[in-house]
Structure 1
Amino acid sequence: MAKPEVEIDVDPQTGRWFVDQMPMILVPQHFYNNNHFAIEAALGADAFDAALAPAGHTSAYVWCKKQSEVYGLEGVDVFAHYMKRLSQRGWGLFSILAIDPKAGTATIRLDHSSFVTDATRGAGRKLCYMFAPWLAGALEFVCEQQGAPRTLASREVQCAAEGHDFCLFEVAPAA
């Protein structure tokens, strides 16, 4: 297995993990997924998505803002850094297929999503919707940074759990 490109700093006083000067929590994938799908089952997928979306959107925006300050990143480089870090943290492999901050649009491919496992591969429905508001929030930061602020929306167009080879997301200006 290749050595990760992410440096983890552990505060000896608190035990907190930091990556890119941001505090992190490391949990096993099955632990996270079991909790995620248990809450989804209790609330229903639509209600769970509605509850998660604002926090995910805001968190992605804040993360991109902080990383632009830490690393001096601007424009598409901020978004690409976010996709790289999501990929390096085990959420799956995110690829930017198209991006236009001036228009507020992007198409993102996700291979090997952390939500599509041997147990969920045949679910026949979209399982990776949690990532959609993250993508919109991240691109909103980039749009604002580039002088074209706008409200964006994102949706999962296809999911590997539906039988596709990969998940696909589209980001566009909100209606």
Structure 2
Amino acid sequence: MTAMAPELPISVDSETGVWTTDALPMLYVPRHFFINNHVAIEQALGVETYAKILYDAGYKSAWYWCEKEAELHGLEGVAVFEHYMNRLSQRGWGKFVTEAIDLEAGTAKVRLEHSCFVYQLGKTGKREEYLFTGWFAGAMDQILAARAIDLRTRAEQTQSGAEAGCDVGYFEVSAL
């Protein structure tokens, strides 16, 4: 059963066609379109090069998003991270669950259920969701910086639902 998500307001400008959620312009594309483009770029650049590009861009974008959302909603600390996981989960990427988070240590563990990559690509035997990795470090580092903590982090994918014997993905954030 599907339902509308009133907690995720989408506004569409009737003149420009621009979609906005949480005061940020959004793009709305079919999952297969996005993933087919993702796979084509991966094949052209190679996984390692593409993963590095995505990590850096995702880190920067997560930092910006968390900064703006914290300001807009008056959030701080773990609440910012949880808000980010919730919004990601509402946008079709998958369901992101924070299993553990320790801001002082700069660590977190995120479980990914219902991955859009696994739904589209199936059991490939590879860690398909590396696109998300920089997002978690970017979110964590923005939260730390807002608390005047100099610690910075790195995130990695440790498991994918696309791997044999695995039903979910995992990502871990650790201090540098």
TM class by shorter chain equals: over 0.9
Residue of structure 1 equivalent to 2:33 = 31
Seq. identity, %? 46
Q: Please, what is the CA RMSD of the aligned residues?
A: 1.0
Following superposition, the deviation at residue 150 of structure 1 comes to 2.2
1:23-172 matches, within 5 Å, as 23-117=25-119, 120-163=121-164, 164-172=166-174
How many Å separate the matches in 2 of 1:71 and 1:12? 26
Deviation at 1:135, TM superposition (A): 0.5
Give the Cα–Cα distance (whole angstroms) in 2 for the partners of residues 113 and 149 of structure 1: 32
Residues 108-147 of structure 1: per-residue CA shift (max 9 Å, x gap): 0000111112x52221110001101000000111111222
Query: Is residue 17–residue 23 contact of structure 1 (8 Å, CA) maintained in 2?
Result: yes
Q: Distance in 1 between matches of 2:82 and 2:98?
A: 7
Give the Cα–Cα distance (whole angstroms) in 2 for the partners of residues 61 and 37 of structure 1: 25
Separation (CA, whole Å) in 2 of partners of 1:37 and 1:111: 21
User: For 1:59 and 1:72, how far apart are their aligned partners in 2?
Assistant: 19
Aligned length: 173
| TM-score normalised by L of structure 1 | 0.95
Distance between the aligned counterparts of 1:108 and 1:149, measured in 2?
Answer: 22
- AA paired with 1:79? F
Q: Secondary structure at the match of 2:111?
A: strand
Provide the secondary structure at the position in 2 that maps to 1:147. coil
Shift of 1:157: 0.3
> Which sections of structure 1, spanning at least 5 residues, go unmatched?
none
Q: State how far apart, in whole Å, the 1-side matches of 2:41 and 2:15 are.
A: 33
Counterpart of 2:14 in structure 1 is 12
State the Cα distance separating 1:12 from its structure 2 match: 2.4
Would you say the 8 A contact 1:121–1:162 is kept in 2?
Answer: no
Cα distance between partner residues in 2 of 1:30 and 1:111: 18
Partner secondary structure for residue 130 of structure 2: coil
Q: Distance in 2 between matches of 1:147 and 1:34?
A: 41
**Cα displacement (A) at 1:11:** 1.8
Structure 2 stretches of 5 or more lacking a match?
none
Which amino acid in the other structure matches residue 45 of structure 1? V
